[in-house]
Structure 1
Amino acid sequence: MRILLIAAALFILGIVFLMAGQPRKGARATIADPEQPSDIDTSKLINWSVKPGNAWYLRGANDAIYLYVQVQSGEIKQQKPRTPLNVSLVLDRSGSMRGDKIRYAREAAKFLVNQLNSEDYLSIVNYDDDVEVTSPSQLIKNKEYLRKSIDKIMDRGSTNLSGGMLEGYTQVKSTKKEGYVNRVLLLTDGLANTGVTAPEDLRKIVEKKYTDEGIALSTFGLGADYNEDLLTMLAETGRANYYFIDSPDKIPALFASELKGLLSVVAQNALVQIDLPAGVKCEKVYGYPHEIKDGKVQIRFNDIYAKDEKAILLKLTASPAINEMLAFNCRLKYTDAETVKEVSLEKGVLVKPTGSASLYKEGEDKQVQEMLALFESAEEFDKLMADVDEGRYEGAKAEAAISMQKLELRAASYDSEKLREQHARMKTYVKSIDSVRTMQDSDRKIYQKSNKAVNYEVKKQKRN
């Protein structure tokens, strides 16, 4: 008994000392000195790093310079009030949704209702040729009424995707408040064939809603007949998530996955900004949409969940006339979801000129080179699948052979498990191309969507 009492006392003393060393609740830092440890905010939930693909660049070579930004969040250890939600659920009720599809969609909608509380706003929109508001945006008060309203949604008509989506945005905007997670959830099983149908026009709508009103969009594609490239593009432009649902019975589980993230938001309005030195241009950004203005590259990725990860790779080029050290000032900005305070963290990254090829080779950062190989291979995989969509089977196999050989060499060079896994995925897919040619149309569409969804997760570096 005495030993147990002593152990308990030591345990309590340990907790006291640990608590004494913890930062004050709500404390935040804005750090501008690149020599300071600026990659962690004082809440210990958000970690970030910026590193170049090489510590050097070759004078006059006009070779690409890469910057890799990684943002990671930790797990919320203690119980805290979660960020309230302002969500619009937009359901396709076109004729093709009949049977199990509409039944499971209703189940997913009721699951969403059951998980929300009295501080959350929810609206439910359904659409075919017409758009109807099943329940306007309001605080969750009468769940039984909402569930009964959902049960009345029946399949019929065509697919006015744009009309349903726009009504979802309207509903969220009507109750938009600071500190809320504002999100439209769009589920469809078909092609947009009424209202606005052109992909570029739809993309512009989603981009404007995000940049002007701060409302994000997640898309859920069900079955074989929807346009997966469109829904992926809309989700990326809307800074949220894309889900492929191959079977109606998986609808509730994927809605649960989306809701799990929404219920664990630790940061909002998150963006990375890179100040480019004079003479340096941004050629490409892998991972997320970006904007370039006044020598600054901005990448907005909206909400950060607990145990989340964001990976961004910038491809830059410097004018051959430049022969000086390049200094990149990098910022991570976001709103802390608990305190609703703005956080700004800064880092400096230096890349030096050299005429030595051997020094340039020694300066390579293996992790950044690994991520470059992964992003490039994901783009090549997308092109491969697009060729198969168009029936260019032999050309696809020839291009894939070149991509896979390059990927295999890089996987060995960097001893990368990620690259080996990507190589294995591509190899399996290429082996299946001949059988894809003879598949029934619906089976081929499902197979393509499934592979594209996996490759989308590779590009987004999603953690399971």
Structure 2
Amino acid sequence: MEHELISCSPSLSGLLNPGHQPGFFLSQTLNRVFLCKIRLPGIWKAKASFMSKKFLFVSTTIVLATVFITAFSDSKTKLNRFSAENKYSDTLYPAALMARDHKGKSITSSRGVISLTSGLDNDYYLLDSTGRTGFLYIETKLEKFINERSARVPLNLSVVIDRSGSMSGEKMEFAKKAAIDIIHKLTPDDFVSIVIYDDKVELLQPSVRVTDKFAIITKVKQIETGGSTNLWGGAEKGFEQVKAGYKKNYVNRVLLISDGLANAGITSIYEIRKRVLNYKDNDGITLSTFGVGLDYNELLMTDMAEAGNGNYYFIESPDKMAALFDKELNGLLNVAAQNAELKIKLPRGVKLQKAFAFKHMQNSDEIVVSFRDLFSEETKGLLMKFSIDDYANVPLKFISTLTYDDVTDNQRKFLRNENILTPAGNNELYLTHFNEGVIQQTVLYVANENMERAMLEADKGNYDNARKLISANKQYLSANAGYVTKSEELQKMDSVNTRYSMQLKEAETLDADGVKQMQKSNRSESYKIRGKKTN
């Protein structure tokens, strides 16, 4: 019985794993040549027992040619795992090394201050390769917005304050001051509620139109500290208050302050995230979180803010609280679009493997991201990694649509882009049509994820593993230096990664607070990078 070369187990696609060296491929393939009867139709036929010098020369030549052709034709951006133990860090290969040019183009459509940009990592895909993957990057960007046609969008807020025992002293005093400052800046068009919580949840001020600031402020001044931390109980009460007074054309947001671990009520990060997403997607309510000091769970607070499409703030010193609340409020007062939703229609033969930076829903071939409010001078980026069916051989159309309510006229508007991934008639087209901007974003999000994984190891006290991962990430960024040096975002990522690497070298010598400070400050920077926060 005769077999095609590609049918000998394991397959060539397995042998051509980016992590395998050419020598490995050669030795393994020759072993299979000698162990099975092989037929290359119309070219070569031999039995396993035939071991002449001529056979060895011909077989070796064919194998080497196969290696060269396959490596050349499979020159799509690949993720080459090089972390020996965890295989977390990725090197874009061969894009960073073999791209002959960057003629790939992104598309931008705009209306007023809002723009939608989308691009593929390469405008072409190869027909003679398997296991093909690609990246689509989509970015919404808002210029500085001043609403000259109408009054600002009013706010419907709930301020949720942790009053557990650990908040006693200056933390509570600064928290109260920050809340009072917000109340002073609200107008009679706005609504506010105040929730306080320890192990119990108390509705200090039900949602009310801000007409009597003195009465609301008096209640805030009377807050005293208490017991443990039912964080979700407090957050949920805030959501309920905003929902009860929900207004379609308002900014509906919860502001959550905590300095401790969630140790009462619902404490599961997964369960809390699911509930925050539900309030955002189904009720139109967003969430920003403020972590005070060194003892709160920054993973939980970051995850809640990202799920709620708000902002996360690390407040290392309580006296910084008022300034960060002011920053948050100023952002809320400059909303340019509401009920914003991004939809991406995937072409037949393409499957989403992963989405970076934003939580999403998938309905068959449609990806949906609910942004809700878009603010002045804000940028949001979504990176999607996708696979291409091995049998695909036609142009593939990706359709990205951003719909939103324009606050200047309350009209529903949209921006729409079409990106075409075209089969390459030759390798030259492929090698010259990489998209530099999209590859930069790919490097950025992968490096950011790698750093997050290193920090998770450090959380567990596995500092050796953390150091290996952060070192591998440094290698990854170095391998892509051609892209890093041209991007301010990537230079920032490289700087943060280097700083964390230096800190990890001394991790065992740090006391408990030193470790907490290291983790929280670096997670805050990591969050800002992937969230494209300017400061």
CA distance in 2, matches of 1:356, 1:463: 42
Which amino acid is 2:434 matched to? E
Q: Does residue 420 of the first structure (1) align with residue 420 of the second (2)?
A: no
Q: What is aligned with 1:452?
A: 523
The match for 1:100 among 170, 184, 193 is: 170
Q: Is the 8 A contact 1:83 1:338 kept in 2?
A: no
Q: What is aligned with 1:85?
A: 155
Which amino acid is 2:332 matched to? L
Which amino acid is 1:437 matched to? E
CA distance in 1, matches of 2:461, 2:443: 27
Shift of 1:275: 0.7
Q: Does residue 252 of the first structure (1) align with residue 318 of the second (2)?
A: no
The match for 1:70 among 135, 139, 162 is: 139
Shift of 1:76: 2.4
Q: Is the 8 A contact 2:132 2:389 kept in 1?
A: no
CA distance in 2, matches of 1:312, 1:251: 30
**Secondary structure, counterpart of 1:352 in structure 2:** strand
CA distance in 2, matches of 1:413, 1:178: 43
The match for 2:383 among 293, 313, 321 is: 313
Q: Is the 8 A contact 1:65 1:317 kept in 2?
A: yes
TM-score (norm 1): 0.89
Q: What is aligned with 2:37?
A: none
Q: How does 1:286-297 map to 2 (within 5 A)?
A: 286-297=356-367
Shift of 1:342: 1.1
**Secondary structure, counterpart of 1:261 in structure 2:** helix
**Secondary structure, counterpart of 2:429 in structure 1:** helix
Q: Does residue 57 of the first structure (1) align with residue 125 of the second (2)?
A: yes
Shift of 1:300: 1.6
CA distance in 1, matches of 2:534, 2:132: 32
Q: What is aligned with 2:419?
A: 349
Which amino acid is 2:295 matched to? D
RMSD: 1.5
Deviations 1:119-166 (A, max 9, x none): 000000001111111111011011111111100011111111111111
The match for 2:270 among 200, 212, 227 is: 200
Unaligned residue ranges in structure 1 (runs of 5+): 1-36
Q: Is the 8 A contact 1:203 1:233 kept in 2?
A: yes
The match for 2:465 among 391, 395, 400 is: 395
Which amino acid is 1:57 matched to? Y
The match for 1:227 among 292, 297, 316 is: 297
Q: How does 1:108-123 map to 2 (within 5 A)?
A: 108-123=178-193
**Secondary structure, counterpart of 1:39 in structure 2:** strand
CA distance in 2, matches of 1:73, 1:202: 30
Q: What is aligned with 1:361?
A: 431
Q: What is aligned with 1:48?
A: 116
Shift of 1:370: 0.5
CA distance in 2, matches of 1:170, 1:366: 45
CA distance in 2, matches of 1:99, 1:305: 35
CA distance in 1, matches of 2:320, 2:508: 27
Shift of 1:412: 2.5
Q: Residues 273, 393 of structure 1: CA spacing in aligned structure 2 closer, same or farther, 3 A cutoff?
A: same
Which amino acid is 1:75 matched to? K
Shift of 1:355: 5.7
Q: What is aligned with 2:238?
A: 168
Shift of 1:442: 1.6
Q: Is the 8 A contact 2:489 2:529 kept in 1?
A: no
Unaligned residue ranges in structure 2 (runs of 5+): 1-106
Shift of 1:396: 1.9
User: Which has the larger Rg?
Assistant: 2
Percent identical among aligned pairs is: 36
**Secondary structure, counterpart of 1:193 in structure 2:** coil
**Secondary structure, counterpart of 2:368 in structure 1:** strand
Shift of 1:409: 2.5
Q: Does residue 431 of the first structure (1) align with residue 499 of the second (2)?
A: no
Q: Is the 8 A contact 1:382 1:455 kept in 2?
A: yes
Which amino acid is 2:497 matched to? M
Shift of 1:301: 1.7
**Secondary structure, counterpart of 2:109 in structure 1:** coil
Q: Is the 8 A contact 2:484 2:491 kept in 1?
A: no
Paired residues, number:
426
